[in-house]
Amino acid sequence: MAEKKIIDMTRGSKTIWFNKNHPAVVYCDKRREDFELYFGKARTSLHTCHVNPDIQCDFTALPFPDNTFSLVVFDPPHLTKAKETAWLVKKYGKLDDNWRQMLHDGFAEGMRVLKPDGVLIFKWSEYDIPAGEVWKAIGRKPLFGHHSGKKSSTFWAAFMKEE
């Protein structure tokens, strides 16, 4: 683990990564699964998704010592209303009714494994829950952030661990 300076706490299918096998990153997810789904009117367009983390674990209980990583990437599931069979749920996961506590605990874990003066990048889609509600749940506002996407509904935020 000494060569790993970055943790992606919620790897999913690595959709946010340009280099999906970066040597400095440990990719974590509580799921380990492969699935396929056909799209289109004739159901001829096959989409596949692979969730194969380096370490299988829940983001609310990371198996790493305090102050391990210089950079933490936290892109938790953001859907609450979608059906379990939906492609986005299969690809990214889903939050349950306890989402506030789950995000609070996950953020706390990310900060725990982050080195002093390290940075946590938080990605959030406001599809079901506004970012302001997430900041309330985790108990902290980001240093800065940016809305992106077609409808500006994805929020990228930066936090720093200050001692």
- C-alpha angle 92/93/98, rounded to 5°? 135
Q: What is the mean pLDDT of residues 82-88?
A: 80
CA distance 66 to 88: 32
Q: What is the pLDDT of residue 32?
A: 85
Average pLDDT over residues 90-95: 83
pTM of the model: 0.90
Please give the C-alpha separations between residue 24 and each of 7, 27, 59, 63, in angstroms, as whole numbers: 8, 10, 19, 17
User: At residue 100, does pLDDT exceed 80?
Assistant: yes
Q: How confident is the model at residue 64 (pLDDT cuts 50, 70, 90)?
A: very high
Q: What is the pLDDT of residue 117?
A: 97
pLDDT at 1: 65
- Split at pLDDT 50, 70, 90, the class of 75 is very high
Q: Which architecture characterizes domain 6-160 according to CATH?
A: 3-Layer(aba) Sandwich (3.40)
